[in-house]
Amino acid sequence: MAEGSRPSPLAFGQVVIGPPGSGKSTYCQAMREFLARLGRRVAVVNLDPANEAVPGPCALDVGELVTLPDVMASLGLGPNGGLLYCMEYLEANSDWLRERLRGLQGHYLLFDCPGQVELYTHHQALKNVFAQLAKWNFRLAAVHLVDSHYCTDPGKFISVLCTSLSTMLHVELPHVNVLSKMDLIEHYGKLAFNLDYYTEVLDLSYLVDHLASDPFFRNFRRLNEKLVEVIEDYSLVSFVPLNVQDKQSMRQVMQAVDKANGYSFGDREQRSLEALMSAAVGADFHFSSTLAVQEKYVQSQDKAVEEEVMDL
């Protein structure tokens, strides 16, 4: 067999996607440190040509190939068009990416991706890059981060659900949706329902009814009902809560991702039956993680009420 036709060794990793400000780079560095403590060889790959200040070690940076400021200056494009061009340029120069990734063989890879939503809902370039990685024997899961503060606004949460569903259908990778910054959720305002309502995406008709109490959204009830029907008909979207400061929360996200990309069932590490079973669990560990966050949230709300009473 010719050297060029030999299959690439099996590799695992995550493509970390989501809107701007959702915490993608912070997540990548926190997950890198967490997995390194468990004994995995981990490397972060920056695929965001607009990210000029990566908050931690980066083994490979797309900025070596193309940067957004250079594209905007040379082609006269704005930030959105320039970023799309950068991703198309990366797709066209996939050989560069493959050559650089060869130097990271044996590593579990965290791909820190751009924050432009169009890249994950309808633009083809980054989707094609992911497909190319799959052909190179990368077993990847998409980790879609969403800021948890959207839970406090029913209208925004419906938008988040639609975006998450569209991303899942377009990217075509095993998918884990994550509600990030859960340690800050008590600062965003009071939730209309318990936290598990949002993480498990339970009966959304209650959300539509809640929206109808707002005079503005009352005029769009029929539209909201139809959007909710689409989300529930696919029955794909759910969320794992994440607080990067909490080791248990990080472990639960890791287990969800390991199950999605098949890492748990590979032979890269020596694992016990208990570790395999814990990664194979479905909603149980989601529920326990959500319950822990919900308890903290309720406690913070009770404390706020007590302080208001004392002020009176």
In a domain, 203, yes or no: no
Domain count, the chain: 1
170 close to 121: Cβ distance less than 8 angstroms: yes
CA-to-CA distance for 45 and 47, rounded, in angstroms?
6
Residue 192 confidence class, pLDDT cut points 50, 70, 90: confident
For residue 2, the surrounding DSSP H or E stretch is none
Query: Which amino acid appears at position 128 of this protein?
Result: N
CA-to-CA distance for 239 and 252, rounded, in angstroms?
12
| Higher per-residue confidence, 153 vs 3 | 153
Radius of gyration of the chain, Cα coordinates, nearest whole angstrom: 21
Token pair in block for residue 218: 């009352």
Given a cut of 80, whether residue 228 has pLDDT beyond it is yes
pLDDT for 289 equals 53
CA-to-CA distance for 175 and 240, rounded, in angstroms?
11
Q: Each residue of 52-83: pLDDT tens digit?
A: 777 778 999 999 999 999 999 999 999 999 99
Residue numbers of the domain that contains 139: 11-181+240-267
Total Cβ atoms within 10 A of residue 135: 11
Q: Region 31-50: what's the mean pLDDT?
A: 93
Burial bucket for residue 187 (CB in 10 Å: 0-12, 13-18, 19+)? exposed
In a domain, 191, yes or no: no
Q: Which of 96-100, 161-165, 210-214, 275-279 has the lowest mean pLDDT?
A: 275-279
In a domain, 280, yes or no: no
| Higher per-residue confidence, 182 vs 189 | 182
8-state DSSP, 205: H
In a domain, 223, yes or no: no
275 close to 269: Cβ distance less than 8 angstroms: no
CATH of the domain at 85: 3.40.50.300
In a domain, 131, yes or no: yes
Q: Each residue of 117-164: pLDDT tens digit?
A: 999 999 999 999 999 999 999 999 999 999 988 888 888 889 999 999
In a domain, 67, yes or no: yes
Residue with tokens 């400021």: 69
In a domain, 292, yes or no: no
Closest CA to 285 of 203, 164, 200: 200
Sheet with 175-180: strands ordered across: 60-61, 42-46, 108-112, 11-17, 138-147, 175-180, 240-241
In a domain, 99, yes or no: yes
Total Cβ atoms within 10 A of residue 102: 11
CA-to-CA distance for 106 and 42, rounded, in angstroms?
9
Q: Region 96-104: what's the mean pLDDT?
A: 95
114 close to 47: Cβ distance less than 8 angstroms: yes
